[in-house]
Structures are given as structure tokens and as C-alpha cells.
Structure 1
Amino acid sequence: MQEHREIQYIVVSFSHRHIDIAMREKLAFGEEERLAFLRALCEHSAIKEAMLLSTCNRVEVYASVLEAKAARECILQNLESFKQIPLEQLRSLANIRLNQYAIYHTFSVASSLDSLVVGETQITGQLKDAYRFAYENLLCGKDLTRLVHYAFRCAAQVRNSVDISSSHTSVAGAAVHMLTLRLKERGESLDSKQVAVLGAGEMGVLALKHLAKHDVRLTLINRNIQNAQKMLENLTEEIGRKVEIAPFSQLQGIIDRADVLVSATGAPHSVISAEMIRPSAHRRVWFDLAVPRDIEEVQVENLEIYRIDDLQEIIAQTKLQREENAKDGYKIVEQCTQEFFKWLQTLSVDPIIKHMRALAKDSSLKELDRAIKKGFLPSEYRQNVEKILHSAFNTFLHKPTMRIKEAGESINSDPMIEAIKSIFDINDEIVMLNKYKCEEYLARSQNTKNPKEP
């Protein structure tokens, strides 16, 4: 029989808090590579389930594991293999969180408290996509489903209870705000400028929404014209203006003419090479919001190129107020983390089975004592009858016990376990394994780096 080992949660994180854009670029995953990477992780005996979140600001592995140190080494070694980054360098850069710290971090990410722009809502969709990808490819099940669903509940509670928004609570919003400031410094405005957006993904859509608030001439460049048209049809009310759609084949001419370019594709490599960036008599401002970067490094007269990490100045302007409000958000995350662990503990089948057996034993002994008291059974037979009763209820409970243990491994086990608890009148206090305190992590979370060793 296979030895039962308790499930643990682990997060291996590389984020904007301690990794620059060049390293995040090296760590970024495309869809096919992501699938191969996750499959390699889940083949290891220490890892049960895994999902990968790869965005412009973070690359993070979320996993349920049977042995933390072996799982950590497996994740780092596979990152070394897939990304050709030395293992020792990965060890020095990774933030590794285990169990309550992993849960707290996951809830903070889902609630956008750990984002470059605190309060941005893009991360929720990105986390949902990461989970959906892993689930549809059979790389995660019960453990990560519980974690992610509870994380979304926590995020909704933070959103509804705490004001952590601002006028530019997204990277795209911060870029447009920075653009208006730069133009204002040289006595210009964004109005009447010719603006091009490269990419019709989520970041490109956000950029269009912010740019459409100004009187600009907008051009959307995308490889798939039909996808771009469909996206714009869904945004007619929000954008409220005509946006010209151009095929990728016209990219060169558009970037030569446009005053402003916002590039946010999901390409695994640069799409605007140094050779494509020609000198121009008019001043141009470009924003590269992609990771990996869309635009190659180049120095050209009359051209300013800003990357994601350059937006810190704009983000910092409202950072203090948002951080003050975010403290209340972290309190909610702390509370949700405690509740999640308590809920997990009530779903453990072992204490439920133990309590069912205790109920059967107590009932048998009460009836035995009653039979002896009423004279139905001589007291000298008590020990032998007790053994018979013990054997009888063990035989009776054997199959139900096996079925409950099997059900406990199913992704649909939670409603069944709750039903069993209700039928046998087993309350949560009975099955609580231990109490969890999160205050220590809340104190540590104020630091950029957290303990790396599980």
C-alpha cells in the first residue's frame, strides 16, 4: 500500500519586485513551451499538480507537492534546462514560498496587491488563464482548483472592500499617463497626434481604451485582421471612435509616420528590429509594454523608447496612497489565508473516518453496558462480546472507509465530504487538525525578499 503523505503548496516566484526586465524576458514562456515545461514538472514523483503564470511582470510556478525540497529542485532544474540559465543563478533569484506563505502570496497576486501597478485588474484574468491552461491539459486538479477558486474569492472581497484603484491602474494606463506628461513638458498635447497600437491582446486593448479618451488618430496593427475587427466591434461603446485597422505588412510605413507607438504583442521575440527603426525629422515616443520586448535596443535621433520598468516614476506618484489603502487589502488576504487553511483541514477524510469509527465504538459499548445492566448478558462475558462488536463494526465500516478515501482523492470530493459530515453530525471543530497563524508572514511580507528555503 502506498504511504500517505500530506499535500503541501509551493510557489517559485520571479517577479518585478526583484528581477529586472532582461531576466524576466529570458524566463518568459510561450504556450507550447509552457505545456512541455509543466508536463516535465508533473512527471516528477514529488509534484502532484502544477500551473505556470508568465506575464510581463512575473514568472511563477504554483504547485501542490508531496516533498517540498525535491519539488523545489525539480522546478529550478527544469527552468535551467528550458531557459538555459545557470542553476545557481536561478537559486539566487528565486523567491520560494511554502504552504501558508505560498497561499498568502497567491491571494496577494490574485488581489493585485503584489502587482507593479497596485489595483490593476489584468492579473485576475491572467491567473484564470494560467489555471484553465493547466486544468485543460490535465496538469492540475483538486489541489490547485481549491487554491485558485479561493484566491478569486479573496480578490473579489479585496476589490469590494478596499479602494486601491487610481486613474491609471494598469501598465497601459500608466504608459498613456506618462506619454501625456512627456508631451506636456515640451509644450504639446496628445490631441491630434497619430498613434499606432501594435497588438490586439489584453494589453493592446487597454492601451486603446486609454488612448481613445484623447482626440487622437488611432491605428491598430495586428497579424490577424479578423480578430482585430471582432475585438473592436465589442469595444464600440467604450472606444466610441473609428479605429483604423492595418495588417502587419504595413508596420514599417506606420512606425515611420506615427507620432506615438504602443507595442504590446505576445510574440516570443522582437517584432521591430533595429534595422526597421529609421531616423525621422519628427519626434516620436514609443512604449514597449511586452515581455519579451517587442522593440530591439537602438539609439535613434528624435525617438524616445520606454519599457515597462521605466513606468516606475508614474506609478510612484500614486503609490503612497494606494499602499496605505493596500494595508487593508493585506488584512483581508491574511484573514482569507487563515480561513482557507481551516477549510482545508475540515476536508481531510482521515479525522472524519476516525470520528465515524469512534461513533460506532461508542454506540456498541453503550449497548453492551445497557445489556449487562439489564441482565441480558453476564458481566463476565463483557470482554469477549466487546471484541465481537469491535470486529463487527470494523467489518461493516471497511468498504465505506475505502470509498471515502477514494472519494477524498477526487476533484469533486468536497461536496461529498461535506455531505458525510452533515449525515454523521460531524462539526468542523472535531476535524480541525491545527490552528494557523499568519501574522508572522504579514510582517515578513513588508520585505522584498522572503525566506527561500522550504
Structure 2
Amino acid sequence: MSYLSISFSHKNTDIQTREKLAFPNEENKDRFLKQLLDDENIEEAILLSTCNRVEIITSVESTAKASKSIIQKLDNYSKIGFEDLYDRADIYENDGAIHHLFSVASALDSLVIGETQIVGQLKDAFRFSLSKNYCEQNLPRALHYSFKCAAAVRNATSLGTGSVSVASTAVAKAKEIINDTAGVKALVIGAGEMSELTIKHLLSAGFDVVLISRDTKKAQMLADTFEEHIDVKEYSKLEELLNEIPVMITATSAPYPIIKQEMVKECSFERFWFDIAVPRDIDDIESSNLMIYSVDDLQDIVNSNMSLRAEQAKTAYAIVNKMSLEFFDWLKSLEIEPVVKHMYLKAEEIIDKKVEHAMKKGFIHKDDEANIRKLCQTVINEYLHQPQKKIKSISKDNQCDIVVGTLQSIFGLKSDTNRLNSHNCDKFKINE
């Protein structure tokens, strides 16, 4: 088994490409994951799709064959072209795949370093695959450790504080432009998680928030969660509001643009629109006094954010490096523990067999059985103590698999499937 991750993010794709690769709903994700797992070479799969990235996280038999298969299926889905996707893709195998996963979970690979949403999005993707039985053991082990790593980074650094999300970056840009936000209205389109985060930052920045969504009831429920007044409008008022309010931030999950050229009227005041959805909510629009920012256009704030967080990021990467190594040590220990266990079980079987034989032959009396067994166990424990320590130290050796196989063959030891299953996905808590 090998770990394989194929990544498309702001680092190797533009927003137009990410729009085509995006999976806007669970039905699309489910269909694609099923197609991946139809390939007998791909054992387990998790799909993470956000506004800034698409990650295919898998355990496979052959990384070379699986890479081509995954990218071919992405081509079938997106119609981008196999060669283009293959050239763009960041492909990570084994150690690299785990290091990348831990970096993603710890928000070190994000557009905004330290943003707080990615670990929740990764947990959601994990839960989805768990619920569909698309991952069983290998990926849950890796995801479980990635969440531990993310928690360690949060505890050891201040990367999770301050303006650290795409939503907060958009609001920071709007505040920078407007300067005095008192009494300035900002329109938020959508009633999902990203919109909720956007509203929090807008209120903190001093804007008056107007909320609109196709689902007015859901929008009102969201508005009611805030102590400050949120003005909820009917979706039929969208075009009117677009031409009345100077700041707009949209973050819907619509698979196509909801704001088009014909909806935009010329205005005497300046308007600033922020499209933080992928696929984009705003079509290609030209209008005087209108500035439109997409996710990628927020790069200047992101660059500033990165420079301020450079030292913290060094600490975070050191944690990721350390925990990546620890993860593989832990995996090796899972292979060693059953070997040690079965060495002792084998010894117990021999003790049982020889004691019973000795009693049948009259070499020992029934009254002495318990003491004889204790003596035998003491001898075995003393004899196996040093080999046990040596075997456990081998778990960090590159030749561990060979040594384990040799020991199992020489001593006639069984493989412990029950031990392996004790580390399956049901054992991992993902609500950390």
C-alpha cells in the first residue's frame, strides 16, 4: 500500500481551472469517488474541494498507475485535457503525501496562511468518505494524525488568530478601500458557512450588513444568530440591491454565475464586489465605477499576511516535519506489535503443550501445575525480553518489513488481523 495525493490549488492553477475542477455538491463528489474506487488499484479515497483547492487523497497499490487513472477521471469530469491536468498537478507519494496532507490540515498550504476553515473542510471530506465506506483503515490513520498535527500547530503558534481566511481578507480589503465604514452598507449573498464568516468580519469592521439568499428562511435563521441587526431581503430584490449598495461579497455554491452583465446598471458611486465563490458567482462584467475582486485578486493582502507570519510558519513546518516522521514510526510499530504479541502467544502454546504432556507422563503432579507454569512463563519472559526490545527498535529501520516477514516465517507466527482492525476508521474521533 502507498499513500498518494494529487493536488490542484492556487499554487498551480488559476481560478478558471479550479472552477472546472470544483465539486459543488455531494452528488458530484459521491459519483466521482465511486468512479475512482472502481479502479482495483485504488483502495481508499477522500475528495476535498474548496474555493482554493481540489485534493484527491488515496491509498493505492501503484502510485504511477493510480496517478494516471485519477487524472484521466478528472479530465472526464472537467474536460480540461489530460496532458494539461497532468502537467499542472502536484503529485505526492508516501512520505511526500503525508507531509502535504499535514501541511494542508495545518493551513500552511492555504492561500491565506493559518486560515481556520481548512481543517473543518478536511474533516467534512473525511466524514463523507467514512459514511460511504470509501475509506477503511489506511486513510483514517493518516487523517487522524493530520488533525493531531493541525492541533499541535494551533497550540504552538498564533497562525490561527487574526485575519486568516478568504472571507476576512475580502473584508479587510473592503475596509482598506472604504476607510470610514460607519453607516456603509455591505451586501452578502448566500446563507452558508462562508457567508456566516463574512458577516462576522463585516460587523467587526463596522459595516451595516444586508443579507440575501434564494432560501430566505435560511437567511433569516442565520441573521438571527447575530446580536447586531442584519437586514434580510427577498432574493427578488437582488438586482435592485446590486445597484444601490457599494460593497458586495458573494459566496454561494451555485454551479454557474448568478450575477450577469444585464443585471448591472451604471451608477454614480463606486462599487466594490468580492467574489469568494468557486465556481465564481459573478460573470465577466464591465461597468464604470465597479471593481470586482475574485479569490486570486486578494493576493496582495495574502502576501502581506505571509510575510508577517513567516517566523510562525517556520515553527509550524518544524511540527509538520516532526509529526510526519512520527506517523510513519507509528505505522511501523503497528506492524511490530503483532509480531511481539504472537511470539509470546507461541510460547504460551508450547508451555501448555509441554505441561500437559508432562502431567500425562507423570513427570509432574497436578498440585505442582500452577507453579510449573509460572516458572516456564518467567523463563520465557526473561528469554524474550531482549529480542522484544530489539524488535521494537527495528520499527524505525527501513528494512522493517523484511525483518518482520523473516521473523514471522522463522517462528511460524500468524498475522494479527484483529490487531490491524483495532485501528480502523471507527476508532478515530474527528470532532477534535
1:352 aligns with 2:343: no
User: In the TM superposition, what is the alpha-carbon distance from 1:229 to its structure 2 partner?
Assistant: 2.5
Distance 1:412 1:58, change over 3 A: closer
Distance 1:361 1:112, change over 3 A: same
For residues 337-387 of structure 1, give each alpha carbon's deviation from its aligned partner in whole angstroms, at most 9, with x where no partner exists: 111111111222x7724762476369859x98xx9xxxx8xxxxxxxxxxx
1:224 aligns with 2:223: no
RMSD of aligned C-alpha atoms? 3.0
Partner of 2:377: none
Query: What is the rounded CA distance, in whole Å, between the counterparts of 2:337 and 2:204 in structure 1?
Result: 58
Instruction: Please tell me whether the aligned partners of residues 173 and 301 of structure 2 are also in contact (alpha carbons under 8 angstroms).
Output: yes
Query: What is the rounded CA distance, in whole Å, between the counterparts of 1:64 and 1:103 in structure 2?
Result: 11
Query: Quick one: which of 171, 186, 196 aligns to 1:205?
Result: 196
Query: What is the rounded CA distance, in whole Å, between the counterparts of 1:311 and 1:282 in structure 2?
Result: 22
Partner of 1:129: 124
Three-state SS of the structure 2 residue aligned to 1:79 is helix
1:89 aligns with 2:92: no
1:248 aligns with 2:235: yes
* Structure 1 alignment gaps of length 5 or more: 1-6, 377-393, 416-454
Partner of 2:178: 183
Query: What is the rounded CA distance, in whole Å, between the counterparts of 2:160 and 2:275 in structure 1?
Result: 23
Partner of 1:21: 15
Query: Quick one: which of 285, 306, 310 aligns to 1:323?
Result: 310
Matched residue pairs, number?
Answer: 378
In structure 1, what residue type is equivalent to 2:296?
D
Instruction: List aligned pairs for 1:270-419, cutoff 5 A.
Output: 270-348=257-335, 352-353=338-339, 356-357=342-343, 360=346, 364=350, 401=414, 404-405=416-417, 408-409=420-421, 412=424
Three-state SS of the structure 1 residue aligned to 2:204 is coil
For residues 199-235 of structure 1, give each alpha carbon's deviation from its aligned partner in whole angstroms, at most 9, with x where no partner exists: 122221111011102443211111112222222333x
Partner of 2:48: 53
Query: What is the rounded CA distance, in whole Å, between the counterparts of 2:7 and 2:425 in structure 1?
Result: 30
Partner of 2:158: 163
1:264 aligns with 2:274: no
1:109 aligns with 2:96: no
Structure 1, 285-294 or 171-180: larger mean CA deviation: 171-180
Query: What is the rounded CA distance, in whole Å, between the counterparts of 1:139 and 1:248 in structure 2?
Result: 38
* Structure 2 alignment gaps of length 5 or more: 364-407, 428-432
In structure 2, what residue type is equivalent to 1:46?
N
Query: What is the rounded CA distance, in whole Å, between the counterparts of 1:339 and 1:83 in structure 2?
Result: 37
Query: What is the rounded CA distance, in whole Å, between the counterparts of 2:327 and 2:235 in structure 1?
Result: 47
Instruction: Please tell me whether the aligned partners of residues 8 and 89 of structure 2 are also in contact (alpha carbons under 8 angstroms).
Output: yes
Instruction: Please tell me whether the aligned partners of residues 53 and 60 of structure 1 are also in contact (alpha carbons under 8 angstroms).
Output: yes
Query: What is the rounded CA distance, in whole Å, between the counterparts of 2:207 and 2:341 in structure 1?
Result: 69
- For normalisation by structure 2, the TM-score amounts to 0.81
For residues 160-188 of structure 1, give each alpha carbon's deviation from its aligned partner in whole angstroms, at most 9, with x where no partner exists: 1012245311111111111122224xxxx
Instruction: Please tell me whether the aligned partners of residues 184 and 207 of structure 2 are also in contact (alpha carbons under 8 angstroms).
Output: yes
User: In the TM superposition, what is the alpha-carbon distance from 1:88 to its structure 2 partner?
Assistant: 0.6
User: In the TM superposition, what is the alpha-carbon distance from 1:401 to its structure 2 partner?
Assistant: 3.8
User: Where has structure 1 moved over 6 Å in runs of 4 or more?
Assistant: none
For residues 25-53 of structure 1, give each alpha carbon's deviation from its aligned partner in whole angstroms, at most 9, with x where no partner exists: 11111221111110000111111110111
Query: Quick one: which of 43, 60, 65 aligns to 1:65?
Result: 60
- For normalisation by structure 1, the TM-score amounts to 0.77
Query: Quick one: which of 37, 42, 60 aligns to 1:42?
Result: 37
Three-state SS of the structure 2 residue aligned to 1:128 is helix
Instruction: Please tell me whether the aligned partners of residues 165 and 322 of structure 1 are also in contact (alpha carbons under 8 angstroms).
Output: no
Three-state SS of the structure 1 residue aligned to 2:111 is coil
Three-state SS of the structure 2 residue aligned to 1:344 is helix
